[in-house]
Structure 1
Amino acid sequence: MNKKLHALLLISVFVVATCGLIYELIAGTLASYLLGDSVTQFSTIIGVYLFSMGIGSWVSKYFEKNIIYWFIQLEILVGIVGGTSSTILFLVFESVASFRIILYSLVGLTGILVGLEIPLLMRILKDRYEFKDLVSRVFTFDYIGALLASLVFPLLLIPYLGLVKTSYLVGILNISVALMVCLNFKKEIKAATYLQTSAIISIIGLLVGFVYANNITSYAESLTYTDTIIYSKSTPYQRIILTKKGKVLRLFLNGNLQFSSDDEYRYHEALVHPALQALPYAKNVLIMGGGDGLAVREILRYPQIRSVTLVDLDKGMTTLFKSNSILLSLNKRSLLSPKVTVINADAFTWIRAQKRKYDFIVVDFPDPSNYSVGKLYTNAFYKLAKGVLSPNGIMVVQSTSPYVAPKSFWTVDKTLRSVGLHTIPYHNFVPSFGEWGYIMATQGQPYVKPKYFLPGMKFISTGSLNQMLYFPPDMAKVETEVNKLNNQALVKYFEDEWAAVL
């Protein structure tokens, strides 16, 4: 084997390793988008994928003849299966009850095929190197390819291409390797013409899928969402979907409804005004989460507010709500106000470095459906938040439903109290979500109910606040654990309670 062919095969190792890991990342990301709980999804998918690779490696010993032929066939098959996997999963998510079976079957099949690749390549190269050099070179290229995949996937592929286009692109790369090997080894392969034709047809098919990926995604999502989708984008952190029916806009993050424009005022007025109306001296406000700017809109009603700092992880989210004309009308251009500073950062990391005190803090994170969000509901996080709350300030935390998920709600309350904060739980009815809960927290001073609210409110009033502070027996306090980083009890409560009603 000449140096050119030997170099081609080592490059093949690099491409194969890169593509193999990207398929794994695509499956994990897509599962977390559609099923939630990213830790569980990635953990199980990695486990199934690695186990399947082990099966593929074991099966490779039964390929005794025509190794180059089988390697090329394998690359074509990996490209087809991996390249179309995200499309298949998007399309069957709503229409097939056994979605998980299809998901893990595709992950397992891809893992077996990828597990076959490296052993076959090593057998092709074995006559070129001594065993120690062969292992060293193959695994060096393998691990470098894995590093490249782990960097380009979150930084380039998902932000700029999305999951479906990424799948097709990686599939094309896999089959391109097959085609290059076939062209260079055609004298040693009896069915070279058949393999070349198969590779070219497969690449053309995947290219068509790549070109029409947005149409495929739109169609798949139209099966999930009953309203017309007017915006969809995958960011490194989540899938953002905006739908419209008549005048009603709805925002979904990873398939979960975040607000509906016809009743979001009930949620955001209840989130902001019971606390801020009781703080006539408040000047500096911190919001963590709330990248849609709707809570900021309510805060800017108060002329005494000098500054609002909004910390939201996803730049894609805040950029959308600073630029889309329909959304600018909804949030009244709040994120463009000179009083508002938008910081795109992980709130847990950001707040650790803060020394500034805030008179009012709004904690408006998504529900604690997974451990990455659950950490923002822990005693460790609330201790940090307490550290930046002014002595006479108030913090308010959105705390899921005290009716559907009472253990989850009262866990938030107990966790806040565990760091020395005085809590004032309350709730209200939001038609899109049902009965929803919030908890105000202070450094210990008593909460004084406002005697009036600003004019122009659609929902909040002194009368409605009295009702919000009362908890009937079916939402009464229950005993729970404190949510800590090392137990994440809240995530388990949340999963169990919401699973019972979905």
Structure 2
Amino acid sequence: MVKIKYEYLFLITIFIISTCGLIYELIAGTLASYLLGDSITQFSLIIGIYLFSMGIGSYLSKFFQSDNLIKRFIEIEILIGLIGGLSAPLLFLIFNRVDFFEFYLYFIVFVIGCLVGLEIPLLMNILKDKFQFSTLVSNVFTFDYIGALIASILFPVFFIPYLGLIETSIVFGIVNISTGLLMCFLLEKEIRGSYFLKFKGFFSLLILIVTLWFASKILSFSEKNLYGENIVFSKTTKHQRIVLTHERKNFNLYLNNNLQFSTFDEYRYHEMLVHPTMSLANKIDHVLILGGGDGLAAREILKYQEVKTITLVDLDEEMTRLFQKNQLFVKMNNASLQHQKVKIINKDAFAWLNERNHKKYDVVIIDFPDPSNFSLGKLYTNSFYASLQKVLSKEAVVVVQSTSPFFAPKSFWCIHKTIQSEFVTAVPYHVYLPSFGEWGFTLTANYDYDNKIKRKIPNLKFYNYNLDNFTYFSKDMLINEVEINKLNNQKLVAYFNAEWSNY
């Protein structure tokens, strides 16, 4: 009976240890990406620190005395649950309130990693006299890796969309502590001072339960301090954190802590994104929008009666659903995503372009987020633009959102040069946006189109149908030596992160 109890209890514990440990690591990486940007650097650093600290913890395990290993193991389990459970709410609360936020982030990751690194060696020492060594090692590592796999699958698919970062952190902390308490009760005859150990476990559990109760208020408070504006809507999807704030008469949309648009001046951006291309194209029967899940580009395109179909490809189904169903968002895009001419496809644009049997499009509006990581950077590569050629009609005209030529000139001209490598014509232009500063675009086609206006929409707020007014670049926005952005190097991501890190 004792052997059966030990076997099942400790194998389940190994599974929980591995799952919870990886969840804390993923939470730290995701939170750092949300708050600090540059997800590649953040995940790389956090993974490296976590693995290094696990090694430190494993080394320190040899200093633990063998006569009270079970008690020490349970104490560590409770401590990991408390620290890991409180990690996300604590980091959200101190962001923008402390200098060197990165130090606190990496220190918490280091502490959790050390404690997790302590657990498995201690566990193996506890069980070494009860099982054959080969069986012990194989069982421990099998359940360890299974737990890691399940955590990595469920984290983006279930926990982040349905619980959120703070709640996920606390829930797994509760799981950690509950596991420790379960071991206290099942093995209390082998533990000296089990009553005090139970008290520590229940007290830690109470702290997390109370924190879970106030989780939504903690997030609202921290985001209000972060944005300095009234938050009227927030939601975490599988792909991003969506926050809408209200300030005076304006609404501001943030994706992963980055301002996406402000209703104060978004009309300038979307008029310059859409109308130069639509006015110069020979035909506009079939229009493709890549990105643009907010429906604001579609709103501008629908002003042209000639348009027969609009296909919108955006990765985030939650994003397009919000701007299709939520009345606050629907008002912003004039219900464009409900229009019968609009077809929404929720897929990765890179993968979608490589599917077969696409129809040809006369106009393509590319409105992706800035290339802050490799998953976005691939959408600005020469491979992506080569794939785009397959869906273009003979005289198609394309426009690409190309970030700021003032704040990130290398990034802007890298996008331009990459487009030039795949298209006959590439015309860069820019516009001033009060919310963002100078912002750039690239208009491109596979033929030498004339600059003659084919059609106009009356009563636009900003664009005057004279593109030449927006094609002049001052010296401080010009960069000559940049490389083409390719899939195997993603130079654009390096340019972008280096330039925007200064702001």
TM superposition score category, shorter chain reference: over 0.9
Q: Given the alignment of the two structures, is residue 52 of structure 1 paired with residue 39 of structure 2, yes or no? A: no
Q: How does 1:407-426 map to 2 (within 5 A)?
A: 407-426=410-429
Letter aligned with residue 50 of structure 1: L
Is contact 2:280–2:455 with CA below 8 Å preserved after alignment?
no
Structure 1 portions without partners, runs of 5+: none
Is contact 1:392–1:445 with CA below 8 Å preserved after alignment?
no
Q: How does 1:208-287 map to 2 (within 5 A)?
A: 208-279=210-281, 281-287=283-289
In 2, the alpha carbon distance for the partners of 1:81 and 1:447 equals 64
DSSP 3-state at the match of 1:462? coil
Please report how far the alpha carbon of residue 142 of structure 1 lies from its aligned counterpart in structure 2 after TM superposition: 0.9
In 2, the alpha carbon distance for the partners of 1:236 and 1:421 equals 38
In 2, the alpha carbon distance for the partners of 1:94 and 1:453 equals 46
Letter aligned with residue 182 of structure 2: M
Please report how far the alpha carbon of residue 280 of structure 1 lies from its aligned counterpart in structure 2 after TM superposition: 5.1
* Residue in structure 2 matched with residue 322 of structure 1 by the alignment: 324
DSSP 3-state at the match of 1:156? helix
Is contact 2:402–2:412 with CA below 8 Å preserved after alignment?
yes
Letter aligned with residue 472 of structure 1: S
* Residue in structure 1 matched with residue 312 of structure 2 by the alignment: 310
Letter aligned with residue 379 of structure 2: L
* Residue in structure 2 matched with residue 156 of structure 1 by the alignment: 158
Please report how far the alpha carbon of residue 202 of structure 1 lies from its aligned counterpart in structure 2 after TM superposition: 1.1
Please report how far the alpha carbon of residue 226 of structure 1 lies from its aligned counterpart in structure 2 after TM superposition: 1.3
In 2, the alpha carbon distance for the partners of 1:164 and 1:114 equals 20
DSSP 3-state at the match of 1:115? helix
In 1, the alpha carbon distance for the partners of 2:453 and 2:21 equals 60
Please report how far the alpha carbon of residue 87 of structure 1 lies from its aligned counterpart in structure 2 after TM superposition: 0.9
* Residue in structure 2 matched with residue 12 of structure 1 by the alignment: 13
* Residue in structure 2 matched with residue 24 of structure 1 by the alignment: 25
In 1, the alpha carbon distance for the partners of 2:128 and 2:186 equals 18
DSSP 3-state at the match of 1:66? helix
Q: Given the alignment of the two structures, is residue 400 of structure 1 paired with residue 400 of structure 2, yes or no? A: no
Closer, same or farther: CA 451–429 of 1 in aligned 2, 3 Å: farther
Q: Mean alpha-carbon deviation: is it higher for 389-398 or for 402-411?
A: 402-411
In 1, the alpha carbon distance for the partners of 2:230 and 2:166 equals 20
Please report how far the alpha carbon of residue 488 of structure 1 lies from its aligned counterpart in structure 2 after TM superposition: 1.2
Letter aligned with residue 368 of structure 1: P
Deviations 1:31-71 (A, max 9, x none): 11111122221111111101100111111111123000001
Letter aligned with residue 429 of structure 2: Y
Please report how far the alpha carbon of residue 384 of structure 1 lies from its aligned counterpart in structure 2 after TM superposition: 0.8
In 1, the alpha carbon distance for the partners of 2:238 and 2:38 equals 16
DSSP 3-state at the match of 1:440? strand
In 2, the alpha carbon distance for the partners of 1:257 and 1:22 equals 28
* Residue in structure 2 matched with residue 195 of structure 1 by the alignment: 197
In 1, the alpha carbon distance for the partners of 2:44 and 2:495 equals 20
DSSP 3-state at the match of 2:460? coil
Q: Cα RMSD (Å) of the superposition?
A: 1.3
Letter aligned with residue 252 of structure 1: Y
In 1, the alpha carbon distance for the partners of 2:407 and 2:76 equals 50
Q: How does 1:35-50 map to 2 (within 5 A)?
A: 35-50=36-51
DSSP 3-state at the match of 2:403? coil
In 1, the alpha carbon distance for the partners of 2:485 and 2:193 equals 62
- Number of residues of Structure 1 aligned to a counterpart in Structure 2: 500
Please report how far the alpha carbon of residue 452 of structure 1 lies from its aligned counterpart in structure 2 after TM superposition: 6.0
Deviations 1:308-327 (A, max 9, x none): 11111111211111122111
In 2, the alpha carbon distance for the partners of 1:469 and 1:137 equals 66
Please report how far the alpha carbon of residue 242 of structure 1 lies from its aligned counterpart in structure 2 after TM superposition: 0.5
Q: Given the alignment of the two structures, is residue 367 of structure 1 paired with residue 370 of structure 2, yes or no? A: yes
DSSP 3-state at the match of 2:480? coil
Is contact 2:3–2:130 with CA below 8 Å preserved after alignment?
no
Q: Given the alignment of the two structures, is residue 134 of structure 1 paired with residue 136 of structure 2, yes or no? A: yes
* Residue in structure 2 matched with residue 345 of structure 1 by the alignment: 347
In 2, the alpha carbon distance for the partners of 1:338 and 1:280 equals 23
Amino-acid identity (%): 53
In 2, the alpha carbon distance for the partners of 1:13 and 1:28 equals 23
Is contact 2:424–2:448 with CA below 8 Å preserved after alignment?
no
In 2, the alpha carbon distance for the partners of 1:423 and 1:258 equals 25
Q: How does 1:286-301 map to 2 (within 5 A)?
A: 286-301=288-303
Please report how far the alpha carbon of residue 477 of structure 1 lies from its aligned counterpart in structure 2 after TM superposition: 5.3
Q: Mean alpha-carbon deviation: is it higher for 243-252 or for 475-484?
A: 475-484
For normalisation by structure 2, the TM-score amounts to: 0.97
In 1, the alpha carbon distance for the partners of 2:203 and 2:80 equals 14
In 2, the alpha carbon distance for the partners of 1:47 and 1:473 equals 41
Is contact 1:288–1:310 with CA below 8 Å preserved after alignment?
yes
Is contact 1:453–1:460 with CA below 8 Å preserved after alignment?
no
List, as ranges, runs of 4+ consecutive aligned residues in structure 1 with deviation greater than 3 Å: none
* Residue in structure 2 matched with residue 489 of structure 1 by the alignment: 491
Please report how far the alpha carbon of residue 239 of structure 1 lies from its aligned counterpart in structure 2 after TM superposition: 1.1
Please report how far the alpha carbon of residue 499 of structure 1 lies from its aligned counterpart in structure 2 after TM superposition: 2.5
Deviations 1:383-408 (A, max 9, x none): 11122111101010010111222221
* Residue in structure 2 matched with residue 174 of structure 1 by the alignment: 176
Q: Mean alpha-carbon deviation: is it higher for 434-443 or for 368-377?
A: 368-377
Letter aligned with residue 58 of structure 2: S
